[in-house]
């Protein structure tokens, strides 16, 4: 784990000094993060890096994970899809199971934070255990057009919090509590994002039998239908008619996502027709993911819905040209034709990929612009600052707080 001073060459000493000054004002406050899984997905990835840095800055911080069985996580996956606007058959039994699991966590979990920071819907019921402490609900998903029944169910818990945090302006909902817009971030010094020697990159390509004799188009993401991996394959097949290239679909699942393996198998079946398509289930090996991104010619994120899309920030940080859907928090990261290319369809994605493969100088320019955009806006040091200012704001009575 990197020390806070190691970020100085990337962001400057002034940023680090500012973090230390803000942290001083939080002395005596204990922060408790709570989510649904310790492994897999962007929330766990961010907390794995952020919690140690907060502790090093002197902010008393802990991280706890709720307990939930297979049925509970099947229900919360339905909630996840429904919040993204996908039609799901959610029954009264699903709501009952959610409530029963939530109550067990209320009964069993030690809530000791002065500030309790709850991430996403799975642990949302814990607010029923609040005392005289402060509570934040962090929504990491795209709720711009949620299923109304699920949103109404969650709303009754959300209003018990002191504040809600969203990743993009369009996700904000009408609520009687304070709302904050704080985008996620990547850690440039993590195994997934740090610089790698070429021999490490080459070794990973050999391990998975991926040749580098032709351009490599890659999507790194959880195997989730909302990431549209089949659409990525279709876009690649369209490009392949004109430009000889390879496709890599790589990722894994999360402990709270029961659909990952079935989506992975669907992709393998669909890809079997083309020997240049590599569908890889990768068990949280961040260095290998880093290597695949660095070996890629073009990186794609063709999500149908997206809370933010950390894989976009990861790719841009590596100076790679990115083609991504104009959904969720992705347009915060990509200004079309400046720091990447945005698309709205399979055909649009294919057109953008062809443009980048045919114009390598343009691709390099977009990649360089994207890296600087991430440096200025989406690194973990900015995220630490925003969260600490959020914590401080809970102890002031102003109606509006700007971060």
139 and 13 housed in the same domain? yes
Q: Are 386 and 373 contained in the same domain? A: no
pLDDT digits (tens, 9 = 90+) for 53-81: 999 999 999 999 999 999 999 999 999 99
> Model confidence over 332-355: pLDDT tens digits?
999 999 999 999 999 999 999 999
Please indicate, yes or no, whether residues 178 and 209 belong to a single structural domain of this protein.
no
Please determine, for residue 283, whether its predicted confidence score (pLDDT) is greater than 90. no
More confident position, 255 or 277: 277
In a domain, residue 400? The reply is no
In a domain, 403, yes or no: no
111 found inside a domain? yes
**Which pLDDT does position 397 carry in this prediction?**
64
Query: Does 316 map to a domain?
Result: yes
Residue 399, in any domain of the structure = no
181 and 203, same domain (yes or no): no
| 336 secondary structure, DSSP code | B
Same-domain check for residues 280 and 342: yes
205, part of any domain: yes
Tokens of 234: 């279709």
Using alpha carbons only, give the angle 380, 384, 389 rounded to the nearest 5 degrees: 150
Q: From its phi and psi, is residue 206 left (phi > 0), alpha (psi between -120 and 50) or beta?
A: alpha
Write the DSSP string, 57-86: TT-EEEEEE----HHHHHHHHHHHHHHTT-
- Coil, helix or strand at residue 33: strand
353-372: pLDDT as tens digits:
999 999 999 999 999 999 99
Considering the domain architecture, whether residues 252 and 163 belong to the same structural domain is answered as: no
- Count how many domains the chain has: 2
Q: What percent of the chain has pLDDT over 70?
A: 97
C-alpha closest to that of 24 among 391, 377, 380, 379: 391
CATH number at residue 149: 3.40.50.2000
Verify that 160 and 222 share a domain, yes or no.
no
341 in any annotated domain: yes
With cut-offs at 50, 70 and 90, classify the pLDDT of residue 255: low
Question: What is the DSSP annotation of 354-391?
Answer: HHHHH-HHHHHHHHHHHHHHHHHHSBHHHHHHHHHHHH
Question: Same structural domain for residues 162 and 310?
Answer: no
Whether residue 247 sits in one domain with residue 230? yes
Answer yes or no: do 121 and 143 share one domain: yes
Q: Does residue 108 fall inside a structural domain?
A: yes
Instruction: For residue range 314-329, list pLDDT tens digits in order.
Output: 999 999 999 999 999 9
Are residues 104 and 232 located together in one domain of the fold?
no
Mean pLDDT of the 34-40 span: 89
Q: 275 and 247 in one domain? A: yes
User: Is 396 a residue whose pLDDT tops 90?
Assistant: no
Residue span of the structural domain in which 51 resides: 4-185+380-393
194-235 confidence digits (pLDDT tens): 999 999 999 999 999 999 999 999 999 989 999 999 999 999
């Amino acid at each position: 784990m990197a020390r806070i001073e190691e970020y100085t060459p990337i962001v400057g000493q002034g940023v680090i000094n500012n973090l230390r000054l803000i942290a001083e004002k939080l002395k005596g406050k204990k922060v408790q993060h709570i989510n649904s899984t310790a492994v897999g997905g962007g929330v766990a990835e961010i907390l794995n890096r952020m919690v140690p840095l907060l502790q090093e800055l002197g902010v008393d911080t802990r991280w706890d994970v709720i307990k939930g069985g297979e049925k509970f996580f099947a229900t919360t996956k339905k909630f996840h899809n429904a919040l993204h606007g996908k039609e799901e058959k959610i029954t009264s039994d699903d709501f009952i199971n959610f409530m029963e699991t939530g109550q067990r966590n209320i009964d069993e979990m030690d809530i000791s934070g002065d500030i309790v920071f709850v991430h996403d819907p799975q642990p949302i019921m814990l607010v029923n255990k609040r005392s005289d402490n402060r509570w934040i609900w962090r929504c990491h998903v795209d709720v711009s057009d949620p299923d109304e029944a699920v949103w109404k169910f969650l709303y009754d818990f959300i209003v018990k919090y002191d504040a809600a945090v969203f990743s993009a302006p369009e996700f904000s909902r009408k609520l009687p509590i304070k709302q904050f817009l704080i985008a996620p971030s990547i850690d440039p010094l993590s195994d997934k994002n740090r610089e790698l020697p070429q021999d490490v990159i080459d070794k990973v390509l050999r391990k998975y039998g991926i040749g580098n004799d032709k351009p490599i188009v890659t999507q790194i993401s959880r195997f989730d239908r909302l990431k549209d991996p089949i659409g990525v394959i279709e876009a690649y097949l369209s490009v392949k008619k004109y430009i000889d290239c390879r496709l890599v679909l790589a990722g894994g699942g999360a402990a709270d996502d029961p659909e990952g393996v079935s989506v992975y198998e669907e992709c393998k079946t669909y890809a079997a027709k083309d020997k240049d398509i590599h569908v890889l289930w990768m068990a949280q090996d961040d260095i290998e993911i880093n290597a695949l991104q660095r070996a890629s010619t073009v990186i794609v994120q063709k999500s149908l819905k997206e809370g933010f899309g950390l894989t976009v920030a990861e790719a841009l940080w590596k100076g790679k040209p990115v083609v991504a859907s104009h959904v969720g928090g992705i347009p915060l990261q990509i200004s079309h034709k400046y720091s990447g290319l945005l698309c709205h369809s399979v055909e649009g994605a294919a057109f953008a990929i062809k443009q980048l493969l045919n114009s390598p100088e343009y691709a390099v320019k977009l990649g360089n612009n994207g890296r600087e955009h991430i440096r200025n806006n989406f690194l973990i040091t900015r995220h630490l600052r925003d969260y600490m200012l959020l914590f401080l704001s809970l102890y002031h009575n102003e109606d509006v707080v700007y971060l």
